[in-house]
Chain A
Amino acid sequence: MIWRVLLTLAAHWRRHAGQFATLFVGLALAVGLWTSVQAINAEARASYDAASAALGGAGAQRYEAVDGMPIPVAVYAALRRAGWAASPVVEGELEAGGAVYTLTGIDPLTAPGSAMGAGGDGEGALALAFITAPGVLLAAPETVEALQGEPRLPPVEASAQVEPGAVLTDIATAQRLLGLEGEVSAILIDPSRQGLRPLDAVAPQLAQAGGEGDVARLTNSFHLNLTAFGFLSFAVGLFIVYAAIGLAFEQRRASLRTLRALGAPLWSLIAAFVLEAVVLALAAGLAGVLLGYGVASALLPDVAATLRGLYGADVGGGLTVRPGWIVSGLAIAVIGALAATAQSVRRAAAMGLLASARPRAWARASTRRLGLQAVGGLAFIFAGLAAPELGDGIVAGFMLLGGLLLGAALLLPPALALVLAGLQRAVSGAAADWFLADTRQQLPSLSLALMALMLALAANLGVGTMVGSFRATFTGWLDQRLAAEVYVTARDEAQARELRAFLETEADAMLPIWETRRELLGAPGEIYGVADHATYRDNWPLLTAQNGAWDAVAAGEGVMVNEQLWRREDLRLGQAFPVPGGPELSIVAVYSDYGNPRGQILIGIDRLTELYPDVSRLRYAVRTEDPDTLMEAVRARFDLPRGGLVDQQSVKRFSLSVFERTFAVTGALNVLTLGVAAFAMFASLTTLASMRLPQLAPVWALGMTRKTLARLELARAAALAALTFLAALPAGLALAWALLAVVNVEAFGWRLPLHLFPLDWLRLFALALAAAVLAALLPARRLSSRPPRAFLAVFAQER
């Protein structure tokens, strides 16, 4: 029975293949975008977990030097002698074949937990080769090929347990390759051991690092950002499915009644609808998962670069097929399709056996329904606005975004209805009157597609404004923060002394960049010493400051805090700030510090050396009129470590490239979402076209040509897109404000000023119009070429 009913209902798709393709592609697109985001997030999280598993077994914590510099091997030896279970780790970047890999060196004999497990079987010849000269590099199969053939590298073996882009080797091999003989990057220690000489006493220069968990925490906001985009894309896609399934129900209304009259029980119709939705969802979902894999593979390198640039988190560039995101993609396809079908099922159940089978415009809106929708829209907006007041964190920020977007989308149809009704009252010509009345009548059927278009436009405007504002602020900020022309880092204290002596005569000024890492108000932080120099007074990007702030810092009485710390701890100017190991200093200024996940303070350089006499004094910012000549001279005279001599322009270029790659993913998702929305418009217009004839035939009979009718269809699509854009503009700007003032503050700890980009709006407006006209083109062309017989059939009731 169900089978027969299903076949009868499904026969509709054979006669409406285009409509079926629309439904299929819409669902596949929605699932594809969602799956791609899930795949990217899963890959990144797996990378963190793999790194965590390789470097920290149960109980082991990561310790780094408080000054951020390499740790002498002697410190490790002291820890072992004191009885601590410790294992050294060396990390660095390995260049090979034009690419950069993350090289990690471990000591397999002392590494806790599964460190050696990353070496595959970890036994026999391989294990021996790992620790004996010339050593062996373990890399993911896709990385091996790129590393092989490099004469300076030891043999490379494939290991499925090493993330793509990462290379694992013995610590001695890593030290040799990275030029870090006698030094390690970090030491893994189990701090829970009892009865030993305290860690503070054995290795006072070490502090527990945030660890990989910290990386995961820091990157959470980025992943949430991606997930939110995934949801938005899915919601837009769902609008397509919802509209297509709803319209298909209307078209099959007569068949439903006939089937019931012929003896098909109601349950069989409902079961057939549900079965149809599930089968369709699984098929389209599978296509969507494949599409998502492609999109994720294309985007992952950018995401990996973003995570490395922003947070120092290493993510491989290759995508692994994981059951998690495949199941998630299929599940959301089924849930989405069932949600879209629920309304049809409900109406099928409520439809009387003798109800009129005459097809009617789907979801004909009554004034009451539009009123309810408007109330719902306002409720969403108010709930969104209330979210940051009621809860903290980035989830509240995203609830604000969701409330604003959904509320604005729900308000769109009532707002359009009001505008069209107003216009109709204002016009006097019969043709214009009919055009507006007809547009109003079509509005309910098109409202879902228009809402999808509005969501995409608002997201585009909001994210575009946010990125533009970020870019404008960030480039200005870089100019301020990187005021010095050259940055040098000495190899050791002796070289630093020689450098200072040399640059005193050759450069205009040599400003120390000395820092130490300490806990600031209970969280890992950085303390910088700042010289009393015009470079800082003239350029440093202060957000707010007391009078005489620089004098207070120079005198060792004031402290400046970065924006992240200021917002996180809700600090105030003039408040006393406890500098670790020193007195409380008054907060005299707050400065912007984009891209830094940690809290940071600036104190006078004399105060820094007084409080932390062991602070590393190797880095300097150099002011000069002729950076090229100076760098040449330094290079000729000093054997500086790799990356020890950098000019300002290189740093800016690098920072901006990190920035651009960060938002490349967002930009790509933005464009894809807009594409999905344009497809939604196309889908609705083509489906509706088949139901429009009874409304158009009388006007045609009254003397309006088919060409005129077709042109009016195009004009209608363009007019509705234009009105939708006008509604999306304030929604998009509200979204940008929410992103800049709420979500960024929650995610990164800084707030950015809102910049407006009217030229971008114009471009998007043109794009929306073009998308709408393109979407209407095919139905309009079909209309203009329909034979008069088709129009006449409406009157003859032969259809």
Chain B
Amino acid sequence: MLAKLHQVTKSFGEGETAVRVLDGVDLEVAEGARLAISGESGSGKSTLLHLLGLLDVPDAGRVEIDGEDLTEAGDARRAHVRRSKVGLVFQQFNLVPSLTVAANLALQARLADRYDADWTQRLAERLGLSPLMDRYPEQLSGGQQQRVAIGRALSAKPALLLADEPTGNLDEETSESVSDLLIELAGETGAALVVVTHSRRLADRMETRLTLSRGVLS
């Protein structure tokens, strides 16, 4: 199994105001899987994705990637797994504003020491970014920025691609093209894709659709 959450619990706040957003969640992501997670706002979808991407730690339960239990791992180990095996796409794009498109695209691969110029160039072509390589993020539209973010997430050829509301900031037409690219490229690289989304259209294109409600995945 590529990634696994076992009886994961996560709460925010303390005492009487504490809210348990995940309550003993189990999730398994196989290699090359296509998985959509939906749910109401505040239901804990992003939290679940953050735990899966090793951005956060659970209060209880276990997080495994490639069979390795990383629940108690230190920052350096978690960072290593993140940069070499996980690709992340955010709703707000989160590009580095001071780097060009080309540098943003190659950033994660370079951090992971897995930079492949040919692959990056192919990614840029597939994403329609070739004419924009010398531009800076602030000079791009939202759709273009999200395509850079997708390219960056795939530059190190991760086994697991996590996307948190990847079309949440985009118009319908752009959402469609970004969704296409995300699914196609994940398929071409063989990466498992987990998407947290409100979009029914995007969710419907996944093999598995799960809903998170009151801390429980169903």
Contacts and interface: CB of A to CB of B under 8 A. Distances in A.
B76 A798 contact: no
17 contacts: A4-B110, A15-B98, A15-B136, A254-B94, A254-B96, A255-B97, A258-B95, A261-B88, A262-B88, A263-B108, A265-B75, A265-B80, A266-B79, A354-B50, A354-B55, A357-B92, A799-B138
B132 interface: no
Nearest to B90: A261
A591 B204 CA distance: 100
Contact of B84 (A16, A263, A353): A263
Given A261-B55, A262-B152, A11 B75 contact: no
A331 interface: no
A257 to B, nearest CB: 7
A8 B138 CA distance: 16
Interface string B134-161: 0010100110000000001000000000
A276 to B, nearest CB: 13
Interface residues of B, number: 35
Interface string B93-137: 011111100010001101111000000000000000000000010
A382 interface: no
Nearest to B84: A263
B189 to A, nearest CB: 17
Given A261-B82, A263-B79, A263-B108, A254 B142 contact: no
A755 interface: no
Given A262-B108, A798-B141, 14 more contacts: A12-B98, A15-B136, A257-B94, A258-B94, A262-B83, A262-B152, A263-B83, A263-B86, A264-B79, A266-B79, A267-B76, A353-B56, A357-B92, A798-B138
A264 B98 CA distance: 17
- Size band of the interface chain A makes with B: 20 to 34
Contact of B98 (A11, A257, A263): A11
A797 B94 CA distance: 13
A58 B36 CA distance: 90
Pick the 5 closest A-B CB pairs, nearest first.
A263-B83, A265-B79, A263-B82, A11-B98, A12-B98
A258 B96 CA distance: 7
Interface in B58-78: 75-76
A260 interface: yes
A261 B97 CA distance: 15
Interface of A: 1, 4-5, 8, 11-12, 14-16, 252, 254-255, 257-267, 353-354, 357, 797-799
A798 B136 contact: no
Contacts of A259: 96, 111
B97 A254 contact: yes
A1 B98 contact: no
Contacts of A262: 82-83, 88, 107-108, 111, 152
Nearest to B103: A11
B63 to A, nearest CB: 14
Contacts of A16: 98
A14 B136 CA distance: 12
A254 B104 CA distance: 14
Contacts of B113: 1
A255 B98 contact: yes
B55 A263 contact: no
Contacts of A8: 96, 98-99, 103, 107
A357 B94 CA distance: 9
Which of B76, B82, B113 lies at the interface centre, i.e. has the most chain A CB atoms within 10 A of its CB?
A: B82
